Amino acid sequence: MTGTLLSIQGLTKAYPGVVANDSVSFDIGTGEIHALLGENGAGKSTLVKMIYGLVKPDSGTMEMRGAPYAPPEPRSARLAGVAMVFQHFSLFDALDVSENIALGMENPPPLRDLAARIRTVSEEYGLPLDPYRTVGGLSAGERQRVEIIRCLLQDPKLLIMDEPTSVLTPQEVEILFETLNKLRQEGTSILYISHKLEEIRALCDTATILRLGKNVGTCDPREKSARQMAEMMVGSELQTPKGAGATPGEAVLDVSGLTLPAPTKFGTALKNVHLRLHTGEVLGIGGVAGNGQDELLAALSGEMRAARDAIRLKGQDIGHLGPTARRRRGLLAAPEERLGHAAAPDMSLTENALLTGAVREGLATNGFLRWGKARKFAERIIETFDVRTPGPDSVARSLSGGNLQKFVIGREVLQRPEVLVVNQPTWGVDASAAAAIRQALLDLAGDGTAVLVISQDLDELMEVADHFAALNEGRLTETRRTADLTIEEIGLMMGGAHDGMEVAHVEA
Amino acid sequence: MLKLEKRPQPSRVFAYLTPVLAVIATMFAGGLLFAALGKNPVEAIRTIFWDPLFGDFAAYYRPQLLVKGGPLILIAIGLSLGFRAGIWNIGAEGQYIVGALCGAAVALAFYPLEAWYIFPLMVLAGALGGLVWGMIPALLKVKFGTNEILVSLMLVYVAENLLAAMALGRMKNPEGRGFPGSRNLKEYPSAFNDEVFVGTGMHWGVLTAFLAVIFAYVLLSRHMLGFSIRLSGEAPRAARFSGVNPARIVLFCLGISGLMAGLAGMFEVSGPSGQISIDFNVGYGFTAIIVAFLGRLHPVGILLAGLLMALTYIGGEIAQGNLGLPSAAIQLFQGMLLFFLLAVDMLTNYRISLVKREAT
């Protein structure tokens, strides 16, 4: 490390009703990988947006190599040598890699020259990428490479990465880390945003921890344990969810030879999926995003119909039935996307309780709605799952992500399902809400419900699941006992073992 | 600098206030328009909004309010169900024409027989005609994924040509001395859609419109089907997840809006209009779209909006007669109403806040 690249002094940004950043100060050294840690809502995004020129601070200053730095827009930030890889990619599916990269450039060179440069840079940093492939056909890991290479072409001094590993397999994470280490050796500073503590301990030189918009400490992550950092992040002692330890009983859900075509052009087809779920069991399904998770949930919830005998619930064929009929038989589901799929954003919580609760909670008689009963059901969800909201009349979109997720999961849990299928139950949810949701799922399994958890968060699956399987390009691997698996084996299962991504090695 | 901020919750106050604001803004802009045409704006606005209700000849105009408002309300109620679900039936005018043709066809087929069952049969035929015309875009959408906006709109032109062909051909009055148009159903007691209460303008169609308001209100606020309709419009994916069959919603919404438009056409031809003629339709099917939105797609709102729109029709006619305003100016005036409504509508979900320009 040779001196300070970016110095942040007392940055403050307030939005109506919330102070997102409260006089945050820290320095990023040249050639340093600096971790920015914090729960959802701790103010990481706002801080990074200020550095990248997307948001203007209310007060406070930044200095870049001793000179005042206050980018009015991202273009100035890029000119100053700041590049950013966002968590959600901004790529056009229908264009190829080089066209996508050209679109983000001020003065793009001719496509052929650009393609050559993309090849050189991608090989230099160990991120193999064909400039002429269509982005729609790339995996999430490869899409991220496109974004990283887009940044590297600008020759940045500071590279900001927002939750880069959330979409990667363990092997892909390794490749990424090698690339980042190479960049560090060349003197590029990296601001690495994550809440995955083990990763930060493995990669970063320094960590700044944010809580409720305040800098609560800067530390060397190698000297602290993951637990210590987590407690700094949350500000209290963490509660690890515990299973009731029910022994799995008889099989309730039997999926055999489930094959479905892709619902959209860039969707994933399900190919000959087999799985068996027992009472009291939690089966975790891992896999990188876009490998058929949404489709599997849709096939199980009844949004996508399958062959009659592809799905059997307690010995009955239900593959051809729609969501309502499946709910009546005890198969409930909670999709990943909270707003717009699991819940209607502009409808009240009472109406959203009715959305899936009508059949099992008896909220309608002869088609006529019983609003009083629906409201009581919504109130029961809010109370049981500690959903923070003024009341059941609030619209769904006024709730924070964590609270709405607790509502969505709670709505299904309270209907006493025989089988519950959830997709990304704690995605974008703060640590305490995530713990509460996982605990609810474990309690449910303890009472004899069969629970299927689809998630891209491996730590989560390791924590809650008795058995594990992985989705890869619409195929599901064999189910294995979680306790018997190593992280490498999981990585191979997620990568599909047969045709994983090219694993390139950087010359040291 | 003014800035728009999204409200965390849609404002209830503004949801009710925006139609009123829109009417006031329309009066202002309309006044300017009339002034530019060299008319006294205050007098013009008074002629349109005041005279039909409380002027010297109000006794004659007031029943007209129901006669004009009835079909608008009936059609708009049907349309609003689809609009709530995100299904855009723009072809109510065509369904209205076909409903009228079917109703009149039954009457003309029985002529000159007098029997109690003729009028009910006409009602049935009118409903069925509108339903069938509405089901064409519905079935095409469900089977082939066609756009219901285009199909329903184009079917209006088909219906208009059908109307012309009937008025000049099969339905032409054989005793009409060569004039185009059918027999006048007002002179055929069994087919005449008479006033239910004499002197009020309340004919059977107006009564049906009021029933439709109640039906829609109960459906939307108390019934699972209404909830499914609203859910489909608010969040289509959530609706599918909830178990709503999108095809069924498309068929129901286009079917019911076609049926109601058909009924409106049938009641019109058998009552106020009296006969099938080339220019039988006067745009109720299109104006009803404005009425539906002006009424916030809410049944009670539509009831009020339909009466308001009827008022501008009647007032507009008086203004044309008394003040010599061109009919285009009146149509512009009605268009402004929708324009301002949509503009002010934003305030339900956004608030305007004053911010100081940030120093750069």
CA-wise closest residue to A439 among A247, A238, A286, A234: A238
Work out the minimum CA distance from A135 to partner chain B, whole angstroms.
25
Residue partners of A433: CB distance under 8 A and separation at least 6: A402, A403, A405, A406, A426
Would you call B245 an interface residue with chain A, using a CB distance cutoff of 8 Å? yes
- The rounded distance, in Å, linking the Cα atoms of A351 and A359 is 14
Site from B5, B219, B242, B348 to mutate, A interface, most A CB atoms within 10 angstroms: B242
- The rounded distance, in Å, linking the Cα atoms of B6 and B14 is 13
Work out the minimum CA distance from A11 to partner chain B, whole angstroms.
16
Would you call B355 an interface residue with chain A, using a CB distance cutoff of 8 Å? no
Question: Considering only CB atoms, which chain B residues are within 8 Å of A344?
Answer: 231, 234-235, 238-239
Tell me what pLDDT residue A163 has: 81
Helix (H) / strand (E) element for A429: namely none
| Average pLDDT over every residue of A312-323 | 94
The pLDDT mean for chain A works out to: 86
Residue partners of B312: CB distance under 8 A and separation at least 6: B48, B49, B330, B333, B334, B337
Quick check: A356 and B222 CB within 8 A?
no
Tell me what pLDDT residue B355 has: 67
Q: Does pLDDT of A500 surpass 70?
A: no
Confidence of residue A504 (pLDDT cuts 50, 70, 90): very low
Site from A346, A349, A350 to mutate, B interface, most B CB atoms within 10 angstroms: A346
Tell me what pLDDT residue B252 has: 97
Task: Please identify which residue in the block is written with the tokens 């998770």.
Answer: A293
For chain B positions 287-306, those within 8 Å of chain A (CB to CB) are none
- The rounded distance, in Å, linking the Cα atoms of B202 and B179 is 30
Would you call B169 an interface residue with chain A, using a CB distance cutoff of 8 Å? no
Question: Considering only CB atoms, which chain A residues are within 8 Å of B235?
Answer: 340-341, 343-345, 347
Confidence of residue A420 (pLDDT cuts 50, 70, 90): very high
Work out the minimum CA distance from A325 to partner chain B, whole angstroms.
8
Three-state SS string over A289-322 comes to: CCCCHHHHHHHHHCCCCCCCCCEEECCEECCCCC
Any idea which of A14-23, A27-36, A217-226 has the lowest mean pLDDT?
A: A14-23
Helix (H) / strand (E) element for A269: namely none
Work out the minimum CA distance from B124 to partner chain A, whole angstroms.
26
CA A453, chain centre distance (Å): 14
Helix (H) / strand (E) element for A396: namely none
The model's pLDDT over A211-257, given as tens digits with 9 standing for 90+, comes to 888 888 888 888 888 777 777 776 765 556 665 555 678 899 999 99
- The rounded distance, in Å, linking the Cα atoms of A271 and B343 is 50
Rg (CA), chain A: 24
Rounded percentage of chain B residues whose pLDDT exceeds 70: 98
For chain B positions 170-229, those within 8 Å of chain A (CB to CB) are 222-225, 227
Closest to A345 (Cβ–Cβ): which among B235, B242, B358?
B235
Question: Considering only CB atoms, which chain B residues are within 8 Å of A337?
Answer: 237
Quick check: B224 and A342 CB within 8 A?
no
The pLDDT mean for chain B works out to: 91
Tell me what pLDDT residue A210 has: 87
Rounded percentage of chain B residues whose pLDDT exceeds 90: 65
Instruction: Read off φ and ψ for residue A253, nearest 5 degrees.
Output: -115, 130
Distances (CA, A) of A124 to A129, A153, A172, A493, A507: 11, 12, 17, 28, 9
Question: Considering only CB atoms, which chain A residues are within 8 Å of B360?
Answer: 72
Tell me what pLDDT residue A242 has: 61
Question: Considering only CB atoms, which chain B residues are within 8 Å of A397?
Answer: 8
Instruction: Give residue A43's identity as a one-letter amino acid code.
Output: G
Structural domain spans, chain A: 4-234, 251-507
Would you call B360 an interface residue with chain A, using a CB distance cutoff of 8 Å? yes
- The rounded distance, in Å, linking the Cα atoms of B155 and A505 is 64
**B358 to chain A: nearest residue by CA?**
A56
Any idea which of A80-94, B119-133, B156-170, B244-258 has the lowest mean pLDDT?
A: A80-94
- The rounded distance, in Å, linking the Cα atoms of B265 and B96 is 4
Quick check: B224 and A367 CB within 8 A?
yes
Closest to A323 (Cβ–Cβ): which among B222, B241, B360?
B241
Q: Does pLDDT of A174 surpass 70?
A: yes
**A326 to chain B: nearest residue by CA?**
B243
Work out the minimum CA distance from B228 to partner chain A, whole angstroms.
9
Highest mean pLDDT among A392-401, B30-39, B191-200, B252-261: B252-261
Same fold, A4-234 and A251-507: yes
Quick check: B235 and A341 CB within 8 A?
yes
Residue partners of A51: CB distance under 8 A and separation at least 6: A6, A8, A62, A71, A77, A82, A158, A160, A191
Would you call B234 an interface residue with chain A, using a CB distance cutoff of 8 Å? yes
CB B231 within 8 A of CB A347: yes
Confidence of residue B360 (pLDDT cuts 50, 70, 90): very low
Instruction: Give residue B22's identity as a one-letter amino acid code.
Output: A
Question: Considering only CB atoms, which chain A residues are within 8 Å of B9?
Answer: 394-395, 398
The model's pLDDT over B308-339, given as tens digits with 9 standing for 90+, comes to 999 988 998 898 888 888 888 888 888 888 88
- The rounded distance, in Å, linking the Cα atoms of B277 and B31 is 36
| Beta strands A189-194; A33-37: pairing state | parallel
Closest to B224 (Cβ–Cβ): which among A341, A358, A398?
A358
Structural domain spans, chain B: 73-294
Quick check: B224 and A302 CB within 8 A?
no
CA A214, chain centre distance (Å): 24
- ipTM over cut 0.90: no
Would you call B241 an interface residue with chain A, using a CB distance cutoff of 8 Å? yes
Work out the minimum CA distance from A178 to partner chain B, whole angstroms.
40
| Beta strands A82-85; A67-68: pairing state | unpaired
Quick check: B243 and A322 CB within 8 A?
yes
How many other CB atoms sit within 10 Å of the CB of residue B329? 19
| Average pLDDT over every residue of A102-128 | 87
**Where would I find the H helices in A269-400?**
293-301, 323-329, 349-357, 371-384
| Average pLDDT over every residue of B111-139 | 96
Quick check: A323 and B223 CB within 8 A?
no
The model's pLDDT over B273-311, given as tens digits with 9 standing for 90+, comes to 999 999 998 889 999 998 998 888 999 999 999 999 999
Exposed/middle/buried for B318, CB within 10 Å: 0-12, 13-18, 19+? middle
The model's pLDDT over A70-92, given as tens digits with 9 standing for 90+, comes to 999 888 898 899 999 887 778 88
Instruction: Give residue A101's identity as a one-letter amino acid code.
Output: I
| CB contact burial B181-208 (16+ within 10 A = b; e otherwise) | bbbbbbebebbbbebeeeeebbbbbbeb
| Average pLDDT over every residue of B101-118 | 94
Residue partners of A47: CB distance under 8 A and separation at least 6: A11, A21, A24, A36, A210
Confidence of residue A507 (pLDDT cuts 50, 70, 90): very low
Quick check: A356 and B223 CB within 8 A?
no
Any idea which of A10-14, A109-113, A253-257, B342-346 has the lowest mean pLDDT?
A: B342-346
What's the pTM value of the predicted model, to 2 decimals?
Answer: 0.78
Distances (CA, A) of B98 to A342, B107, B278: 42, 14, 13
Confidence of residue A506 (pLDDT cuts 50, 70, 90): very low
Distances (CA, A) of A504 to A86, A176, A422, A508, B186: 23, 10, 35, 12, 87
Question: Considering only CB atoms, which chain B residues are within 8 Å of A395?
Answer: 9-10
Domain A4-234: CATH superfamily is: P-loop containing nucleotide triphosphate hydrolases (3.40.50.300)
Q: In this structure, what is the dihedral angle of CA atoms A433, A332, A458, A343, given to the nearest 10 degrees? A: -50
Would you call B10 an interface residue with chain A, using a CB distance cutoff of 8 Å? yes
| Average pLDDT over every residue of A167-174 | 79
Number of residue pairs across A and B with CB atoms under 8 Å? 72
Closest to B227 (Cβ–Cβ): which among A301, A327, A354?
A354
Instruction: Give residue A230's identity as a one-letter amino acid code.
Output: A
Tell me what pLDDT residue A40 has: 65
- The rounded distance, in Å, linking the Cα atoms of A299 and A508 is 46
Quick check: B235 and A398 CB within 8 A?
no
Q: Does pLDDT of B13 surpass 90?
A: no
Q: Does pLDDT of A491 surpass 80?
A: no
Closest to A344 (Cβ–Cβ): which among B5, B238, B360?
B238
Work out the minimum CA distance from B243 to partner chain A, whole angstroms.
5
Any idea which of A267-276, A487-496, B258-267 has the lowest mean pLDDT?
A: A487-496
Peptide bond into A72 cis (omega under 30): no
Residues of A with CB under 8 A from a CB of B: 16, 56, 72, 301-303, 322-325, 327, 333, 335, 337, 340-347, 351, 354-356, 358, 364, 367-369, 371, 394-395, 397-398
Three-state SS string over B226-280 comes to: HHHHHHHHHCHHHHHHHCCCHHHHHHHHHHHHHHHHHHHHHHHHHCCCCCCCCCC
Top CATH class of A251-507 equals alpha beta
